[in-house]
Structure 1
Amino acid sequence: MQSLFTPTRIGAIAVSNRIAMAPLTRSRAGMDGVPSPLAAEYYRQRATAGLLIAEATNISRQARGYAYTPGLYSDAQVAAWKQVTDAVHAEGGKIVVQLWHVGRMSHTSLQAGGAAPVAPSAIQAGGQVFTEAGFEAPSMPRALQLEEIASLIDDYRQAARRAKDAGFDGVEVHAANGYLLEQFLRDSTNHRTDRYGGSIENRARLTLEAVNAVAGVWGADRVGLRLSPLSTAIGDTPLDSTPQATHEYLVRRLGERGLAYLHVVEGQMHGDNATSAIDLDALKQSFGGAYIANNGYDRERALAATASAQADMVAFGRAFIGNPDLVARLRDNKPLFDAPFAGYFGGGAEGYTQFTEAAAAA
């Protein structure tokens, strides 16, 4: 039952234990997408995780859907991220960055020149995005033109190159949680009639082309991908009509490419972890590589998942916010501090790299 705390390899990345820190948007960057000077300390504090998956990071200005989120499309952003990776590596940690394009989950105020967000099809998203004015409804998107897609794929490639310049150990392609790649994957949000719409093969095409571009920079064994086959939480995004067939096709093609890992949000993000609507074992077998489980895991479930080889790693999210020493706390079965929600997004050091004395003593 102690396999959770033993070393392994995730693709080409050697990790000291099976605990991953899930990507957590904390909205501490500048509006120029440059990570906060506090970010190096934030990630350094959590470097005992076997693998840190840095917060979702915009591949371009167009990719941004939330204020104060970081990017990987300028030299200043790379320089700030280099301070983060150096700090993590000085502690013996490993860190990859999640490459993000939000698609329709954006607002005109966050886009260059007040442009409309882009999506596979011009379908309004639900939910809210965080702008400088506060939480607002997403703006109506426009459908990407076919001739724009090559440039979009190049944005993934360029962000992957900048991630290498910034000193990361690899990258994770974000194809989950109702954002652009998942919008293309699901027939509920993709009504295209060209080579990127219609059949499962066509709807999976953009994700696979983005992965190919990123793997061409890093090598496939340092590239992971995140999926959320059952989540509808972001943007009120309806499920695909055939989630099992769609995702099995995609992960089989990813496995053929030799990706480092598949990272799956099991069940409903921020909610029910029931997975009866999809056969996760079939997805794992179709992929054939390392599997990172995510969504509502506690110590006992994580111990059982790694001991039974149901997962190669388990990703913890919110638990890492208030417990930088989460690995030690899990190992020693110590209680966890539940960080106040008020400090999750925006602000400074409080609730990010430090907590009140009372909170720290909890």
Structure 2
Amino acid sequence: MTTNNQTIDPAALSPLWQPIRAGELQLPHRLAMAPMTRDRSHENGTPNEMNARYYAQRASMALIITEGTQPSEDGQGYLLTPGIYNDEHINGWRIVTDAVHEAGGRIVIQLMHVGRVSHPQNTPHGRQAVAPSPVAPASPIFTASGMQPIAEPRELSTDEVRGVVEEFRVAARAAIASGADGVEIHSANGYLLQQFLSSNVNRRTDEYGGSITNRIRLSVEVAAAVAEEIGAGRTGIRISPGNPLNDIVEHDVDELYSALVSALAPLDLAYLHVASSGNDAALLRELRRLWPTTLLLNRGRTDLVTRVHDIEDGLADVVTVGSLALANPDLIERLRVRAPLNTPDRSTFYGGDEHGYLDYPTLDLAAAA
């Protein structure tokens, strides 16, 4: 592992250290861990002891948002990602949540249905991927036999779309049964819920396609069902306006997301988590105006001081970081004492063993070395 000797003046970070409430979640400060796929669960989607250690190491973050977790067999897209739809998954996640809570942390499970971003080799049932419409992504996907093109997905029937809502409901119930403090609904990054929002993947003519009102319907129905099942105060949702990841196109970003956030606002969810594209300042201001509860903001690779300014400016209540938390299990302590930060090893991000997962040094280990 390498260390970045650049440090950040603690005075510039002072707005981070104020506590805040997000629904039923009482956060001790305002720096949270963003969801990051790590591909290190058991083949059947059950989290393991290694996952528990990974998350517990980072328990000093204000909130841990887990990696994307499939709510059903159809929801899986990648190898070795966790699930939360059967008893084995619940028991596996219980090991994780217990470890985080024992370390003093708070953890929500991100519910992610990948939709068309899948391959039969990566799923337990080996079936064709599902999507709003039979439109395949241009990008290939990694499988056990290497990179493979993604075949045309099967279009969900109207009844099956309603079934997706129930999959999220059941998964949310299972997440709470596993000891999680809440869930985050993944309506971003080109996965199923954003596929319904999109201009290019959603070519439906039923009540889930066509107009903006129809395209936002699934995200709103999922959020309402999850909030009804586990409580709005335990429910968050993530969006990424205009994000082209996984070959998504949204021609009406500002109007689309203003409508979506306006429709979600009456649900009184714990938080809205916005992943910014970096060129959306006016839209972020509008979404902040429309959203009545806590707003989490992820600025991608923007420096941390700039993100803190978002709190000072009222644009965000909490900021989330990904690779900084991945590479620095004790990130909060390092920032408070102005210690050097570890540099993330990108070659170990996805899959593998403990290397690049559990062995990033903490300040105590670095001093001993």
Q: Which TM-score tier does this pair reach, normalised by the shorter chain?
A: over 0.9
Displacement, 1:331? 2.4
Larger mean Cα displacement after TM superposition, 294-303 or 120-129: 294-303
Per-residue Cα deviation, 1:43-92 (whole angstroms, up to 9, x for no partner): 11100000000110000111000000000011111111111111111121
Displacement, 1:35? 1.2
User: Which residue type is aligned with residue 247 of structure 2?
Assistant: D
Per-residue Cα deviation, 1:99-129 (whole angstroms, up to 9, x for no partner): 0100000012224543210000111112232
Instruction: Answer whether contact 2:45 2:83 (CA < 8 A) is retained.
Output: yes
User: Which residue type is aligned with residue 28 of structure 2?
Assistant: S
Give the match's secondary structure for 1:253: helix
User: Which residue type is aligned with residue 250 of structure 1?
Assistant: L
Instruction: Answer whether contact 1:108 1:139 (CA < 8 A) is retained.
Output: no
Displacement, 1:356? 8.0
- The percentage of counterpart residues that share the same residue type is 40
| Correspondence for 2:349 among 341, 344, 348 | 344
Aligned length: 352
Per-residue Cα deviation, 1:109-164 (whole angstroms, up to 9, x for no partner): 22454321000011111223232223322221011011212221111011001001
- 2:359 aligns with 354
Structure 2 stretches lacking a partner, 5+ long: 1-11
Alignment pair present for 1:255 and 2:265: yes
Give the match's secondary structure for 1:211: helix
CA–CA separation in structure 1 for the residues paired with 2:20 and 2:105? 14
Alignment pair present for 1:265 and 2:275: yes
Instruction: Answer whether contact 1:5 1:331 (CA < 8 A) is retained.
Output: no
Instruction: Answer whether contact 1:71 1:77 (CA < 8 A) is retained.
Output: yes
Give the match's secondary structure for 1:337: strand
Alignment pair present for 1:309 and 2:314: yes
Higher relative contact order (CA 8 A, sep 6+): 2
Give the match's secondary structure for 2:263: helix
What pairs with 1:57-96 in structure 2 (closer than 5 Å)? 57-96=69-108
CA–CA separation in structure 2 for the residues paired with 1:214 and 1:291? 19
Instruction: Answer whether contact 2:58 2:325 (CA < 8 A) is retained.
Output: yes
What pairs with 1:1-362 in structure 2 (closer than 5 Å)? 2-233=14-245, 235-238=246-249, 240-267=250-277, 273-275=278-280, 279-294=283-298, 295-355=300-360, 361=366
Per-residue Cα deviation, 1:198-255 (whole angstroms, up to 9, x for no partner): 111100111111111111111112111100102112x2222x1111111011111111
Instruction: Answer whether contact 2:37 2:350 (CA < 8 A) is retained.
Output: yes
User: Which residue type is aligned with residue 191 of structure 2?
Assistant: Y
Instruction: Answer whether contact 1:65 1:130 (CA < 8 A) is retained.
Output: no
Give the match's secondary structure for 1:342: helix
Give the CA RMSD over aligned residues. Answer: 1.7
Give the match's secondary structure for 2:105: coil
Runs of 4+ in 1 over 6 A off after TM superposition: none
User: Which residue type is aligned with residue 292 of structure 2?
Assistant: G
- CA gap of 1:113–1:85, structure 2 versus 1, over 3 A, is closer
Give the match's secondary structure for 1:43: helix
CA–CA separation in structure 1 for the residues paired with 2:123 and 2:234? 31
Instruction: Answer whether contact 2:284 2:315 (CA < 8 A) is retained.
Output: no
Displacement, 1:298? 2.5
CA–CA separation in structure 1 for the residues paired with 2:91 and 2:167? 18
User: Which residue type is aligned with residue 154 of structure 1?
Assistant: E
- 2:5 aligns with none
CA–CA separation in structure 2 for the residues paired with 1:311 and 1:204? 23
Instruction: Answer whether contact 1:4 1:307 (CA < 8 A) is retained.
Output: no
Per-residue Cα deviation, 1:18-39 (whole angstroms, up to 9, x for no partner): 0010001000012200113201
Give the match's secondary structure for 1:279: helix
User: Which residue type is aligned with residue 128 of structure 2?
Assistant: A
Displacement, 1:4? 0.3
Displacement, 1:12? 1.6
Give the match's secondary structure for 1:194: coil
Structure 1 stretches lacking a partner, 5+ long: 268-272
Instruction: Answer whether contact 2:329 2:360 (CA < 8 A) is retained.
Output: no
- 1:270 aligns with none
TM-score (structure 1 length as normaliser):
0.93
Displacement, 1:261? 0.8
Give the match's secondary structure for 2:49: coil
TM-score (structure 2 length as normaliser):
0.92
Give the match's secondary structure for 1:56: strand
Give the match's secondary structure for 2:315: coil
Larger mean Cα displacement after TM superposition, 307-316 or 327-336: 327-336
